Amino acid sequence: MEEGSVKKEVLHESRDGRRAFLKICSVFLTSLIGIAYSIPIIRTFINPALQKTVISSSGLVEVGDIRGCKVNVPRKVAIKDSRRDAWTKYPETVIGAVWVVQQEDETFKAFSVICPHLGCGIDWDKDSGRFICPCHESYFDIKGEILSGPSPRRMDTLETDIKQGKLFVRYQKMKLGIAEKIPV
Amino acid sequence: MKWLEDRTGLKDLVKKFLDEPVEGGAKWSYVFGSALVIVFIMQIVSGVILSTGYSASATDAWGSVYYIQERTMSGWFVRGMHNVGSSAMMVLAILHITQTVIFGAYKKPRELNWISGVFMLFIILGFGLTGYLLPWDQKGFWATQVATSIMGLIPGIGDFVKGVVQGGNDYGNLTLTRFYSFHVFFLPAGLMTFMAIHLHLFRRHGVTPHWKPDESELKRKTQPFWPDQIFKDVVAAVIIFAIMSAAVWYRHGAELQSPADPSSQYMARPEWYFLFLFQLLKYFEADMEVVGAIILPTIAAVLMLAIPFLDRGESRAPAKRLPFIGGFGAALAGIVCLTLLSMVSDSRDERLLAQKEESEVMAERAIELAALGIPPSGGAAVFTNDPLYVGEQVFRQHCITCHGYQGGGGDSAPDLTAYNSRSWLKGFFRNPNAVKYYGKTQFNEMPESLMGEEDLSYLIDFLLAQSETETPVDPILREIGEAILVQEGCYNCHTYNGRGGDFAPTLDGFASDEWLRGMIEDAGQERYFGKYNTMPSFKETIGKEDMDKLVLFLQSLRSEPSLALPE
Ligand code: FES
């Protein structure tokens, strides 16, 4: 009788050992599937963060003829460009605007109309001869330097070029609300 | 841990779920049910991820799927898994049902297990049907029309049902928004509900063990669900996952055909698990169609639901339920037969094979062109990225009322198939007044040429060399060419290099872009046909950009037989 119960015990133990092994295997194999499956899943999910999904031209965009420009009289010109939004390519549409100013030395400067503070549209105030952002009253002079107001930096200048009497601007949006000018 | 446990009772819950005696012991034959659950979970995961990139609109659907497939890391794999997953669910469901039938597992008191299961089968079919349309590519678009048309056949309420499902009178934005909604809300909610019921009932009545062992033997062999049965389920899951991944890898994801084009003609085929229904349709014509499309499938569905109430004998042993096992076997064999018949007849159908080849070419082209961005007017507009394609459209719009092309078109002006290719020109010189050339025009001044093969070949070389306006003609070739012009009397009518007559088209810059453009703009100019001209002027009707593309298209005919769609 003694012997019998001992045997039973051993049997029991070995069975428990087997079950414990099965448990470990089950958990291990399940995690294996989980990991194998999550790799592509996660890659797909995070993809847009690693990609440029909305693309406007980063090249020079023609904004128009420079004839008829007067020194220190800002002109607002629309930037037209085609835009790429993930799979869709939109035909040329207005994507923004710039203030074009002919300097005293006859060169041209282009300022983004987007206020570096929080992104409102900057206007030219003819009477006072200043740029003004109406949202929180930032003022800039004709060179784009801050006169007063909450804007953390001067108006953003954009790269320009003149080819055959036409002005080109490299249109870019900059990060808002910080002192440095960094393209987004 | 204890804190959490005290508040949630999570451990207890898990224990409750896992702790179940499996009478008669864990069995491999029980794995299909849990495999279905696992694949369904995988489908949810991949589906949710796909939904982060998918756009349910007739203009954007194809583009978004293209973007997932081609422009997103591992996107092709996730989409492939979702696609293969639907087939896996179907296969597993069939195995699960077969096992249930053989074991007689639907018998009292498990009738409702069976019925809820059959409903789940229908829902899985619904997933397949709705999902097939979502990419809005050719096959999805056309194949799904068959299904919705069938709904329209339902006596009395057909049109209404069709309108509800497809969202209005025709395929469009609302069809996609609705199918998408069915696919991601209605059907999953339905499946989860029935799955909950199914699992609850399963726990209530336990597994249906093999029919042979008696009660006491089963009791003795009882094993716990966790881990004995779960281990087997997990092993099955690993195998299924491996097979699915391998299939996806091998096929490089799921097929994406060219964007749906309602103006095209496309012979649609559904997903493989619908082929038997598709084949069934072929045997019922005209007025009888409703029989094959609706009545027979409905009867089959009702019969399937009714099985537990028909097969009421005590014994679960298959040998004692021969009529039912036989009936089920016959039905399954019938389905397999119909499926095979459909596959075989398709594989022999020349037109279908040609279409398959064409659609592969089109799909590849569409994907290539989509890399340039898809116009906002929708997926099918990718082809307008291709100047050659646009050129051909312009050609088809303006030219083929008079000019023949690839066996079609008019015959009152020269056939432009392979226009200005060597063989076209050769035929032209040999017999300019054949129907293919000037035969049916009012122009018959061009004499047939009797010159030797070699001379003709030189002449063609010489003429085609004119089309390269950038590079000067090789002087030797030019000398030979001019000699032939003299010898053949070409100068009587044609001008070349300031010499010759002026009542036939000039040979200066022959077949160059400029020459073609001038001809199309106004063939009545002095330097072309002058007063002999009968071709209308297209200066006003074809815009500059279209003209460039048309010229490009015409030039392409010279080198290749045709870039157009095969007939
Ligand atoms: S946004 Fe221009 S001042 Fe605030």
Instruction: Kindly write down the DSSP assignment for every residue of A112-161, as one continuous string.
Output: ESB-TTT-PBPEEETTTTEEEETTTTEEE-TTS-EEESS-SSPPPEE-EE
- Predicted local confidence at residue A13, as pLDDT: 55
Q: Return the CATH number at A79.
A: 2.102.10.10
- pLDDT exceeds cutoff 90 at B256: yes
Atom of ligand 1 nearest to the CA of A133: 2
Nearest to B140 by CA among B58, B85, B77, B68: B58
The per-residue pLDDT of chain A, averaged, comes to 85
| Most ligand 1 atoms within 8 A of CB, residue of A133, A154, A155, A173 to mutate | A133
The pLDDT tens digits for B57-69 are 999 999 999 999 9
Assess whether A77 and A162 both reside in one domain. yes
- Mark which of A31, A50, A69 sits at the end of a domain: A50
- Over range B76-93, report the average pLDDT: 97
- Over range B227-252, report the average pLDDT: 94
The pLDDT tens digits for B490-509 are 888 898 888 888 778 888 88
- Predicted local confidence at residue B411, as pLDDT: 83
In a domain, A181, yes or no: no
- Predicted local confidence at residue B446, as pLDDT: 86
Assess whether A93 and A108 both reside in one domain. yes
- Verify whether the Cβ–Cβ distance A43 to B74 is below 8 Å: yes
- Predicted local confidence at residue B174, as pLDDT: 96
Residue nearest to atom 1 of ligand 1 (CA): A118
Q: Measure the CA–CA gap between B62 and A87, rounded to whole angstroms.
A: 9
Of B64, B74, B374, the CB nearest to A40: B74
- Over range B362-383, report the average pLDDT: 88
Lowest mean pLDDT among B55-59, B323-327, B442-446: B442-446
Assess whether A59 and A25 both reside in one domain. no
Assess whether A91 and A151 both reside in one domain. yes
- Verify whether the Cβ–Cβ distance A22 to B237 is below 8 Å: no
The pLDDT tens digits for B96-127 are 999 999 998 898 889 999 999 999 999 999 99
CA of B248 from ligand 1 middle (Å) equals: 53
The pLDDT tens digits for B129-169 are 999 999 999 999 999 998 999 899 888 899 999 999 999 99
Q: Which of the four pLDDT bands, split at 50, 70 and 90, describes residue A12? A: low
Taken in order B56, B59, B61, B65, is the CA torsion positive or negative? negative
Alpha carbon separation from B11 to B15, B18, B19, B230 (Å, rounded): 6, 10, 12, 18
CA of A147 from ligand 1 middle (Å) equals: 13
Assess whether A130 and A156 both reside in one domain. yes
Assess whether A128 and A152 both reside in one domain. yes
Instruction: Say yes or no: A33 contacts chain B, CB-CB below 8 A.
Output: yes
Identify the top-confidence range among B60-64, B146-150, B376-380, B401-405.
Answer: B60-64
Taken in order B553, B554, B555, B561, is the CA torsion positive or negative? positive
Q: What tokens does A36 get?
A: 């194998």
Identify the top-confidence range among A88-102, A163-177, B32-46, B534-548.
Answer: B32-46
Q: Measure the CA–CA gap between B405 and B145, rounded to whole angstroms.
A: 32
In a domain, A183, yes or no: no
- Over range A126-130, report the average pLDDT: 90
Residue nearest to atom 4 of ligand 1 (CA): A136
- Verify whether the Cβ–Cβ distance A90 to B46 is below 8 Å: no
Nearest to B388 by CA among B547, B553, B517: B553
- Predicted local confidence at residue B530, as pLDDT: 83
- Predicted local confidence at residue A158, as pLDDT: 92
Q: What tokens does A39 get?
A: 């790799």
Tokens 């004995």 correspond to: B228
| Most ligand 1 atoms within 8 A of CB, residue of A111, A112, A114, A117 to mutate | A117
In a domain, A178, yes or no: no
- Verify whether the Cβ–Cβ distance A44 to B235 is below 8 Å: no
- Verify whether the Cβ–Cβ distance B372 to A89 is below 8 Å: yes
- pLDDT exceeds cutoff 50 at A2: no
| Most ligand 1 atoms within 8 A of CB, residue of A111, A114, A118 to mutate | A118
Q: Which CATH architecture has domain B19-255?
A: Up-down Bundle (1.20)
CA of A59 from ligand 1 middle (Å) equals: 27
Q: Measure the CA–CA gap between B259 and B66, rounded to whole angstroms.
A: 10
Sheet hosting strand A123-125, strand order edge to edge? A123-125, A130-133, A138-140, A146-148
Domain that holds residue A166: 54-170
**Ligand 1 environment, Cβ below 6 A:** A 115, 117-120, 133, 135-136, 138, 149-151
Assess whether A45 and A62 both reside in one domain. no
Instruction: Say yes or no: A47 contacts chain B, CB-CB below 8 A.
Output: yes
Total domains present in chain A: 2
In a domain, A182, yes or no: no
Assess whether A26 and A69 both reside in one domain. no
Beta bridge partners of A68: none
- Mark which of A50, A70, A85 sits at the end of a domain: A50
Q: In chain A, whose CA is at the least distance from the CA of B232?
A: A26
Assess whether A85 and A34 both reside in one domain. no
Q: Where are the alpha helices (DSSP H) in B110-172?
A: 111-133, 138-151, 158-166
Q: In chain A, whose CA is at the least distance from the CA of B69?
A: A44
Assess whether A121 and A88 both reside in one domain. yes
Atom of ligand 1 nearest to the CA of A118: 1
The per-residue pLDDT of chain B, averaged, comes to 89
Q: Which of the four pLDDT bands, split at 50, 70 and 90, describes residue B567? A: very low
Q: How far is B247 from chain A (nearest CA, A)?
A: 14
Q: Measure the CA–CA gap between B48 and B79, rounded to whole angstroms.
A: 11
Measured CB to CB, residues of chain B less than 8 Å from chain A are 42, 45-46, 49, 52-53, 60, 63-64, 66-68, 71-75, 77-78, 81, 224, 226-228, 230-231, 234-235, 237-238, 241, 245, 370, 372-376
Tokens 């290099």 correspond to: B497
Asked if residue B375 lies in contact with residue B382, where contact means CB atoms within 8 angstroms, the answer is yes
Q: Which of the four pLDDT bands, split at 50, 70 and 90, describes residue A58? A: low
Q: Determine if the peptide bond prior to B270 is cis (ω within 30°).
A: no
- Over range B391-415, report the average pLDDT: 87
In a domain, A124, yes or no: yes
Close Cβ partners of B262 (under 8 Å, ≥ 6 residues apart): B141, B171
- Verify whether the Cβ–Cβ distance A44 to B372 is below 8 Å: no
- Predicted local confidence at residue B79, as pLDDT: 97
Of A32, A44, A84, the CB nearest to B72: A44
- pLDDT exceeds cutoff 50 at B43: yes
In a domain, A179, yes or no: no
Of A19, A33, A87, the CB nearest to B238: A33
- Predicted local confidence at residue B25, as pLDDT: 80
Nearest to B410 by CA among B423, B430, B395, B432: B395
- Predicted local confidence at residue A4, as pLDDT: 46
Atom of ligand 1 nearest to the CA of A119: 1
Assess whether A24 and A87 both reside in one domain. no
Nearest to B75 by CA among B59, B61, B55, B54: B54
Q: Where are the domains of chain B?
A: 19-255, 386-564
In a domain, A107, yes or no: yes
Assess whether A105 and A144 both reside in one domain. yes
